[in-house]
Amino acid sequence: MKQALVVVTPGERGRRLVREAGAYAEGTDTELVLLTVVPEDEFEERRRAVASIGSSDAIYSLEQAAEAGEREAMEIADDVLGDVDVNYRPIWTVGREADTILDVAEQEGVDHVFLGGRRRSPTGKALFGDVAQKVLLSFDGPVTLVMGEDTVESESKAASNANTPA
């Protein structure tokens, strides 16, 4: 069975990405590997924040973070892919994003990578960002980018309404 790696992020762009990957997977009989990557500095920041609470019970372990990250990825996929007949499973890891995406893609033997890209510049050129650019240049297979801001839908609507003249 073919496999596709989907780099899951919170927000509307992440949901669109999972939706696009689901449509691809259903049409090609492909299993989706839902990858959540937390940068090392972000994980350490969370760990320090929990430790600063002062309770001897306050720890933030890799296992706890993995459970939470995998649960969040599955909740997004269950919601977005509810009407689609595809198999999917989560993977969570800490690391440098581009390197980790490429490492997991190789370890899992995936045929396709789906990830988010940044918005377009004022002149309409795509701004990929370092992670997307490295994956595009280094992955030996198709890479699908879903472009746009990674915001929660209600925040996007509020922002667009705030900019509308009365």
> Are the C-beta atoms of 118 and 127 separated by less than 8 Å?
yes
pTM score, two decimals?
Answer: 0.78
The domain spans of the chain are 2-162
Q: Return the bridge partners of 91, or none.
A: 35
In eight-state DSSP terms, residue 81 is T
The CATH number of 2-162, from 3.40.50.720, 1.10.10.10, 3.40.50.620, 3.55.40.20, is 3.40.50.620
What digits encode the pLDDT tens for the residues 61-117? 888 888 888 999 999 999 999 999 999 999 999 989 999 999 999 999 999 999 987
Q: What is the DSSP letter of 120?
A: B
